[in-house]
Amino acid sequence: MKTKFQNNVAIAVIRVIAVLVVLILAFLLGDILISGVPHISWHFLTAPSQAFTSGGGIGVQLFNSIYLLLLTLIISFPISLGAGIFLSEYAPKNIFTATVRMAIEVLSSLPSVVVGLFGFLLFVVQLDMGFSILSGAIALTFFNLPLLTRNIEESLRAVPDLQREAGLSLGLSKWRTVIKVILPEALPGIITGVVLGAGRVFGEAAALIYTAGQSATNIDFGNWNPFNATSPLNLMRPAETLAVHIWKINSEGVMPDAAAVSAGSSAVLIIAVLIFNFSARVIGNQLYRKLTATK
């Protein structure tokens, strides 16, 4: 009797907490979206920002965010994939492996502002790369690498050992088994992790403030030569992203419509992150179904 009562109380408390969490989240999202969405227009999404007059947009910042995200993925995915495969399939139990794991652990718990400062001191100052997309992408790689590596390692580990034995027993080498059997089966989990990580990277500001910089220099969308200073693809230009833009408007924005721009930008950012999270689920599920269920 008493255990049952305790059990019911526990369940009730957990339910209340769960509902509370959902409510807070809904309130936050609702507040940001309701105040921000009305400011979103095609003009807002594409026009360059204005520092002193109203009517500015976020076109350059949006492009910078996406470009930086792509660069970060291009750098961090191959490294994480290699590290994840090593840790899951090959790493012997020794000091070296333990050190790698510890390094990943430490890296993943570093506050992003520290990652940003490190990037500032090493890349921006020491290596003289300046505030640049490249510095930003490397900082974001540090930020993304540990989680992505762990995600890939866990996705690979989740594939049952029976599959490894199946490959080996047919005369495949370990490497071929990993690449052709284990990796494809881990792919849904890996893709989900990549996309979720992309959402985190997309919304990251602290690591970028001192690396990619806080200015959206004018770029010329008619010029795609990456070696040209005004080209959108130029790696050495400073690039304020959407998240940094929001931070900057709120700390020192002087344009008359700062509140509106900030609200609109936040809404765009939130929508983008929601899309990332949502599509991570959808893509993961679909890939999984394609790989396992009836076609």
Partner 1 sequence: MGINKYDFNEKNILKFDSNEHELAIATKNLQVFYGDKHALFDGDLEFERYKITSLIGASGSGKSTYLRSLNRMNDNVARVEGEIQYRGLNVNSKKINVYEMRKHIGMVFQRPNPFSKSIRENITFALKEQGLKNKKKLEEVVESSLKDAALWDEVKDDLKKSAWSLSGGQQQRLCIARTIAMKPDILLLDEPASALDPISTSKIEETLVELKKRYTIIIVTHNMQQASRISDYTAFFHLGHILEYDKTKHIFTTPKVTATNDYISGNFG
Q: What is the nearest approach in angstroms of partner 1 to the Cβ of residue 94? A: 15
Tokens of 39: 């400011």
158 binds partner 1 (CB under 8 A): no
Amino acid occupying residue 44: F
Reported as type and span, the H/E element at residue 24 is helix 2-36
How big is the CA angle at 268 (ends 130 and 275), to the nearest 5 degrees? Answer: 105
Binding mask 181-220 for partner 1 (x = CB under 8 A): x--xx-----------------------------------
For position 17 contacting partner 1 by CB under 8 A, the verdict is no
Give the Cβ contact number of residue 192 at 10 Å: 22
Residue 86, CA distances (Å) to 89, 95, 162, 179 in order? 6, 14, 19, 12
Q: How many residues line the site for partner 1 (CB under 8 A)?
A: 22
Q: Which stretch binds partner 1 (CB under 8 A): 53-61, 179-187, 199-207, 260-268?
A: 179-187
- Nearest approach, Cβ of residue 295 and partner 1 (Å): 6
Main-chain dihedrals φ then ψ at residue 108, nearest 5 degrees: -75, -20
Are 54 and 255 in contact by the 8 Å Cβ rule? The answer is yes
d(CA 148, CA 192): 10
169 makes contact with partner 1 (CB under 8 A): yes
Residue number, 191 or 272, with CB nearest to partner 1: 191
Residue 295 touching partner 1 (CB under 8 A): yes
| Least distance CB 197 / partner 1 (angstroms) | 24
Footprint on this chain of partner 1 (rule: CB under 8 A) = 160, 162-163, 165-173, 176, 180-181, 184-185, 291-295
